[in-house]
Amino acid sequence: MSEDLREKLFDKKENGWKKVNDEEKKKIFEYAKGYMDFLNKAKTEREFVKHARELADKNGFKDIMEFNTLKPGDKVYFVNRNKSMYLAIIGTENIENGLHIIGSHVDSPRLDLKPNPLYEDTEMAYFKTHYYGGIKKYQWTTIPLSIHGTIVKTNGEKIDICIGEDENDPIFTITDLLPHLAQDQMEKKLKNGIDGEDLNLLIGSIPYEEKGKDQVKLNILNILNQKYGITEADLTSTEIELVPAFKARSLGLDESMVAGYGQDDKVCAYTSLSAMMELENVKNTAICILSDKEEIGSMGNTGMESHMFDFFISEILNKLEVNRPNLLDKVFCFSKMLSSDVDAGFDPIYASVSDKTNAGFLGKGISLNKYTGARGKSGASDANAEYVAWVRNVLEKNDISYQVAELGKVDVGGGGTIAYIIANKGADVIDCGVPVLSMHAPYEVTSKFDIYSAYKTYKAFWNE
């Protein structure tokens, strides 16, 4: 008797794998393989945008600048300075009734080179770095790192570099102190164990000539000059990022999870992008945002705080030949958005930081965060109940597993996304993404079940 009632009334939040049959499991694993392949070639925001554009071109999308006018069914994109991208499929519904936006970010925590990076000390050459985003610095020592980025010369010539991903490439690393001599270091607080100024990348040790000052640095500059035709001063106009050199891999004896770098937030970027590639005939105009600079506050002209996104939507309104004063504001006020960013997955080893009844779990499906603020919901974009219900309805009628969670305990958690930026324009927004373990670490963990749930969620939202 009570069992029937329990079945009817409880929010069961079951492990999603329980309901997955063999055929479905095969689909989930195949999808995850495509995701891992993409992750391995798109470790930086520039690489992600480059490959996203290629994928979009293959699927009938075109640069919005190639259009004079737009009509329902048209597929367009705008690439913003090679680091962020907005895609759209024009819907059959009057655009004044709002957009259906899914927004993720394609930048991830990493180490950037300083503008004057190269130096030599005791006949070893190093690149100095300035870390990007919230990292635990000790995690970035003694792991293989690769060098990705873009060098721009004063004549405008651009050179893309990527060293350390091919098996035949060398890799790089940041050294740490041997335990034998680390008595003082081991007494320090974990956050001070490695100093930001000590995150220097070891890049060489052979002198150019027998005699003379800075011969190892000279040898490195000579190698760079022969390979790329650059001098030391050219390093000041580069964006070079150090990322883990290891590949995304299936994790576990049951291969149920994915371990990989940059899954925050490329897991949501990839799942939304791949869902958009399969859309046809949407009602509300579907928008996919791949933003940059989320990890450092969304500032600058490639971050969501800039007006570049407004510009893209205005271009659509212009080319639909419907634009008029304040229409952009109206469109945003009637829009709906999923801020597709990862959630902190509940980790039983560190259970004390989470409220178990309000945490996102690996393998239980897409995770909705009604708000992300902590300590009195400070700074939160709190989704309206009406909108949460609307999203739940979309998920339930499409039979998609979901959970509604908070990021950590009341006075512990927090973490921002781009949700508030679009909510401030007037749209209904909720955070909606994949739970991750070891978030912001060089190797992050997700569940293949949740990855596939995210893909299904984003597709269902746009098809609504």
Residues within the interface to Mn ion (CB under 5 A)? 264-265, 341
Nearer to Mn ion, 265 or 450 (CB): 265
Nearer to Mn ion, 147 or 268 (CB): 268
In one-letter notation, the amino acid at residue 66 is E
What are the structure tokens assigned to 307, written together? 């007006």
Nearer to Mn ion, 315 or 341 (CB): 341
The distance of closest approach from Cβ of residue 269 to Mn ion in the complex, given in angstroms and rounded to an integer, is: 10
Cα separation, 168 vs 160, in Å, equals: 18
The distance of closest approach from Cβ of residue 103 to Mn ion in the complex, given in angstroms and rounded to an integer, is: 11
The distance of closest approach from Cβ of residue 415 to Mn ion in the complex, given in angstroms and rounded to an integer, is: 7
CB-based closest residue to Mn ion: 265
Nearer to Mn ion, 241 or 264 (CB): 264
Residue where the block lists tokens 């008595």: 183
The distance of closest approach from Cβ of residue 109 to Mn ion in the complex, given in angstroms and rounded to an integer, is: 7
Nearer to Mn ion, 149 or 416 (CB): 416
The distance of closest approach from Cβ of residue 445 to Mn ion in the complex, given in angstroms and rounded to an integer, is: 14
Nearer to Mn ion, 110 or 459 (CB): 110
Nearer to Mn ion, 230 or 436 (CB): 436
Nearer to Mn ion, 234 or 264 (CB): 264
With contact defined as beta carbons under 8 Å apart, do 269 and 455 qualify? no
**Would residue 142 be called left, alpha or beta, if left means φ above 0 and alpha means ψ between -120 and 50 degrees?**
left
Phi, psi of 110 (to 5 degrees): -170, -175
The distance of closest approach from Cβ of residue 81 to Mn ion in the complex, given in angstroms and rounded to an integer, is: 20
The distance of closest approach from Cβ of residue 370 to Mn ion in the complex, given in angstroms and rounded to an integer, is: 17
With contact defined as beta carbons under 8 Å apart, do 324 and 417 qualify? no
Cα separation, 37 vs 459, in Å, equals: 21
The distance of closest approach from Cβ of residue 85 to Mn ion in the complex, given in angstroms and rounded to an integer, is: 17
